[in-house]
Amino acid sequence: MLLRYLFILLIIIPIKALALIEVDITRGNLNPLPVAVSPLSIDNKSKENFKKILKKEDLGSEISIIVENNLRQSGLFNPLNKNAFLQEPDVANLKPRFEDWNLIKAQALITGKVTLVDEKLRVEFRLWDILAGKEMMALAFTTVPSNWRRVGHIITDKVYERLTGEKGYFDTRIIYVSEEGPKTKRIKKLAIMDQDGFNNKYLTLGNELVLTPRFSPANQMVTYLSYFRNLPRVYLLDIETGMQEVVGDFPGMTFAPRFSPDGKKIIMSFAKDGNSDIYTMDLENRIVERITNHPSIDTSPSFSPNGKRITFNSDRSGYQQIYVMDSNGKNVKRISFGNGLYGTPVWSPRGDLIAFTKLHKGKFYIGVMRTDGTGERLLTENFYQEAPSWSPNGRVLIFYRETKTNSKGEGFSAKLWSIDLTGYNEKMVETETDASDPSWSSLLSN
Amino acid sequence: MNLSKILKNGFLIVLASLVLTACATKKTSTTGQMQGDVYTGTDSVEYLASGVPDRVFFATNETVLTTASRETLRKQAAWLRKNSDINVVLEGHADERGTREYNLALGERRANSAKDYLMTYGISSDRISVLSYGKERPVDSGSSPLAWSKNRRSVTVKAN
Amino acid sequence: MNRNIFISFGLHIFLVIITAMSLPFLAKKPIDLPPIISVELIQITDKTNIPFAPKAKKIIEKVKEKEKKLVSEQAPPKKIKKQKPDAIPLPDEKIEKIKKIKDEKQNPEKVETEIKQVSEFEKKELFDTNNIAALIDKSKTESAETKKKLDKVTQDQDKEMNFGGLTLSEEDALKAQIFGCWSIPLGLPFNQDLLVRIKLQLKPDGSIIKTEILDHARMNRPGQGFYKVLAESALRAIKLCQPLRVPSTGYERWKDMQLNFDAREMLEG
């Protein structure tokens, strides 16, 4: 008996000379966190009023469904089945019985309350840590009733940030090109929708070809390419007023427009006599500046989030590759060196990565690389896909895919897809029609 | 080795090689539709006038004119000289196997190659304008190298 | 054009003749097989006397830690299902395999045997066999109770095993348990310092008296917001895993313990 004790000591002591045992936990699971989203409690009077105003039976439940879907779609959370919930929403919001929620394996709980106060929608919600048995977060805000969907998105953003450490991306919109018709004569319209597919709206009628829209960081302006009167030019569109205007007075095709991070400039390509170069135009004083001056094709420019550098696509080395330069056009450096063609570089809002499209041996890839070109990672492969756009927190990429057609030229479709930066959670983004050229807005609530 | 053995071997080898040849893939060059990567057929071609094809074709990612293209453009130039009141738009296109924005630039460059060549034959640049459609207006919606080759084109269109 | 065809034809015939003359044909020559040597697959064991299959799971964790490849255990009473050591299955496929096996079996112990075989031929996987614990956790209350029972069984074995001298597995037993409980927040930046150290005070049965996050000040430092999230996830893991799988003896030795949670390995992958 004593001998065994000695044996134990002999093993333990050489390993840990100190009295305190330290155990290294270097692995865990990457499963979605089980959370319970309780329907927001709502008093009968408010319920009736909201039913009248918004035509929704139970607004508290509707808002919680938005939160639930958002969390599930992110791939990081597993919202549990409401039928298993033991506590009523109004009781849970005051003080949840943690054992009840623990029983269904929830690790976090969201509760809240919705009321109509002075014709405004008032929401308060709480986030609870079930295992620690305490409240993690409590917030309240007021808005107009018609914004009720945004309430669900804002709650999700707050919860997401609190539980992952990352800013959310749910209170955002996506602008894209809606497509219909035969491949040889596609009808294209600008469309905008909430990030979860609701509130879809068309911004143009489909009379002229429209391509590659982009949001302004200020969020109510959009820039895109239009073939109005058969003259392909970059335009500005005010979403709220519907006003459109051409950008600058260029004697040739302008295309591939983006906004600068401060929203004050448009950067784009201008094609003349077979050469495409990158230009900027200041939206206030209308001054045009030439950024690249090279006989190659320079296009698809994208600013770094601090506005000091630009990444772009150029074939100056003979084939499409990715370059970075200072925002004044100096210090041009190539950063893509793998096998294949590279295009559509987009700088992450976090500033750390550049996403791109790659074509190699007949296959298209969406990938990311560091801003110096190292660490190239391909996230997904397909017959045809391109044009990734970042979510505002730099975690999710949205892009589009097209399908092959059969020998008769039938079966064509284009759809939006999204994928997490880690390569997980690849899924299609539902749209009413076929869709392409997606672009993600920044957070609306900023 | 005796003769019968040689003959037997020979027979089997011929049989084996015949099997191989039977499985050979159809080469497009045999039907004369493509040369290398460039479409040489007449499927989608229209005519500005008798004997004047309206378009020229390009290899993947290329904007240089082939010999056949130059021949076509010479015919176009001759016709334009004869009809000096006609102006044209050169519409440049690309296939779908590339990124959208780059393809817009590629289409523009292809149309410009054609324009420059027409100008060397005395056609004034006032009469020629250039318009790129990138990959937006394919003439063949198929997903095959042949379909793609038909889409890599610069088309001369009457403007008035 | 015709001349070329004739030349090509002639050369082809020439080739056929050459080949025909020198082709070593499929004659009735007897095939020389090397003599058949019978080889016994010897099971190399690290430890002897492992009476219960569930323990094997823990040993496998330890063995995997040490990155040994072909070490398998004797699990005397159970039938071992042979699995081919072909290409390393992708994490997704593996989960499906394991899920299927789990669905078929009723007896939790049996499940662990199957897992053992699968893990034999893998070096490193993103989704650990520890995930089984998490998968089992996800189902309803009944299976939660079953798990409790299972744990109790192994606790008993723990006592027995200590007499057998398996002290190194104590640390690995605890690690394995916490691996299964720690849900690593995917949102953490994978290029930062992701280490959080938590000091614990434990009761003899493995339940927690007190937790203390070392470097607490970092939780509220600007730009280190993720540290708070990381620390909270570690605390949740500890709470979820109560009672911790602690040794049944030597309470004085382990009543104060420090767990170093480092998410880097999992996220960098």
Could you write out the DSSP letters of every residue in B21-34? HHTPPPPHHHHTSE
Residue C38 has pLDDT above 50, yes or no: no
Dist CA A81 CA A74 (whole Å): 17
CB pair distance less than 8 Å for A26 and C262: yes
Q: Mark yes or no for CB contact A300/B96 under 8 Å.
A: no
Alpha-carbon distance of A180 to A185, in angstroms, equals 9
CA B28/CA B35 separation, integer angstroms: 8
Q: How far is A248 from chain C (nearest CA, A)?
A: 41
Q: What is the pTM of this model?
A: 0.75
Output Rg (C-alpha) for chain B, integer angstroms: 22
Residue with tokens 């007897």: C30
Question: Within an 8 Å CB–CB cutoff, is residue C131 touching chain A?
Answer: yes
pLDDT band, residue C167 (cuts 50/70/90):
low
- Shortest Cα distance from C6 to chain B (angstroms)? 17
* Structure confidence by residue, pLDDT tens digits, C93-150: 444 444 444 444 333 333 333 333 333 333 333 334 444 444 444 433 333 344 444 4
Is B101 at the interface with chain A, CB within 8 A? Answer: yes
A385 to A397, A417, C14: CA distances (angstroms): 12, 9, 51
For B:1-20, CB contacts with C below 8 A are 1, 5-10, 13-14, 17
pLDDT in tens for each of the 446 residues of chain A?
677 666 665 555 554 444 678 888 999 888 889 999 999 999 999 999 999 999 999 999 999 999 999 999 999 999 999 888 888 888 888 889 999 998 898 999 999 999 999 999 999 999 999 988 999 999 999 999 999 999 999 999 999 999 988 899 999 999 999 999 999 999 999 999 999 999 999 999 999 999 999 999 877 899 999 999 999 999 999 998 989 999 999 999 999 999 999 999 999 999 999 999 999 999 999 999 999 999 999 999 999 999 999 999 999 999 999 999 999 999 999 999 999 999 999 999 999 999 999 999 999 999 999 999 999 999 999 999 999 999 999 999 999 999 999 888 889 999 999 999 888 899 999 999 999 999 999 999 76
Cα separation, B86 vs B127, in Å, equals 7
User: Which of B101, B104, B113, B148 is the best mutation test for A, with the most CBs of A within 10 A?
Assistant: B101
Of A25, A129, A132, the CB nearest to C260: A25
Q: Is the CB of C258 less than 8 angstroms away from the CB of A34?
A: no
What is the distance between the alpha carbons of residues C214 and C200, in angstroms, rounded to a whole number? 11
The residues in C 204-233 lying below 8 A from A, measured between CB atoms, are: 225-226, 228-230, 232
Is the pLDDT at B72 greater than 70? The verdict is yes
d(CA B63, CA B66): 9
Contacts of B2 in chain C (CB under 8 A): none
Asked if B9 lies within 8 A of C17 by C-beta distance, the reply is: no
Among all chains, which residue has been given the structure tokens 């430092």? C221
Q: State the DSSP string of A347-415.
A: E-TTSSEEEEEEEETTEEEEEEEETTS-S-EEEEEESSEEEEEE-TTSSEEEEEEE----TTS----EE
Percentage of chain C lying above the pLDDT 70 cut: 44
Tokens for B115?
A: 């324009």
Instruction: Say if CB C184 and CB C234 are below 8 A apart.
Output: no
Name the DSSP class of C217: G
| A20–C178 CB contact, under 8 Å | no
Query: Contact B104/A271, CB-based, under 8 Å?
Result: yes
Chosen for mutation from B13, B18, B19 (greatest number of chain C CBs closer than 10 Å) is B13
CB neighbour list of residue A183: distance below 8 Å, 6 or more residues apart = A405, A409, A412, B138, B141
Distance (Å, whole) CA C2 – CA C9: 10
Contacts of C86 (CB under 8 A, 6+ apart): none
pLDDT for res C186: 74
Chains that touch A (3 or more CB pairs under 8 A): B, C
A301/chain B closest Cα distance in angstroms: 10
User: C261 vs A8: CB contact, 8 Å cut-off?
Assistant: no
Pull the structure tokens for residue A216: 């302004």
Which residue is closest to A393 within chain C, CA to CA? C187
Residues of C with CB below 8 A from B6's CB?
20-21
Each residue's pLDDT tens digit, A364-401 = 999 999 999 999 999 999 999 999 999 999 999 999 99
- The overall average pLDDT reported for chain B is 90
Answer whether B59 touches A (CB < 8 Å): no
The amino acid sitting at B57 is: F
Instruction: Please name the amino acid found at residue C98.
Output: I
Interface chains of chain B (3 or more CB pairs under 8 Å): A, C
- What helix, strand, coil percent values describe chain A, rounded to 5? 20, 45, 40
For tokens 């989030």, what's the residue? A305
Residue-wise pLDDT tens digits, B112-145: 999 999 999 999 999 999 999 999 999 999 999 9
Nearest to A267 by CA among A319, A214, A194: A214
| CB-CB under 8 Å, C20 with B10 | yes
Tokens of C50: 């492992």
A127 CB neighbours in chain C (<8 A) are: none
3-state class (DSSP) for residue B80 = helix
For residue C251, the number of C-alpha atoms closer than 13 Å in the C-beta half-sphere is: 8
Hey, what are B93's tokens? 């296109």
Query: Which of A414, A439, A443, A445 has its CA nearest to residue A302?
Result: A439
- Residue C183 DSSP class: B
Q: What is this model's ipTM?
A: 0.91
Compute the C-alpha angle A398/A401/A406, nearest 5°. Answer: 170
Reference C171, options C259, C45, C67; nearest CA is C259
Q: What are the two backbone dihedrals, phi and then psi, of residue C95, each rounded to the nearest 5 degrees?
A: -60, -45
- Residue in chain A nearest C219 by alpha carbon: A165
Q: B121: burial class by Cβ within 10 Å (0-12, 13-18, 19+)?
A: middle
CA distance A125 to A123: 7
Chains touching chain C through at least 3 C-beta pairs below 8 angstroms are A, B
Chain A touched by B142 (CB under 8 Å):
yes
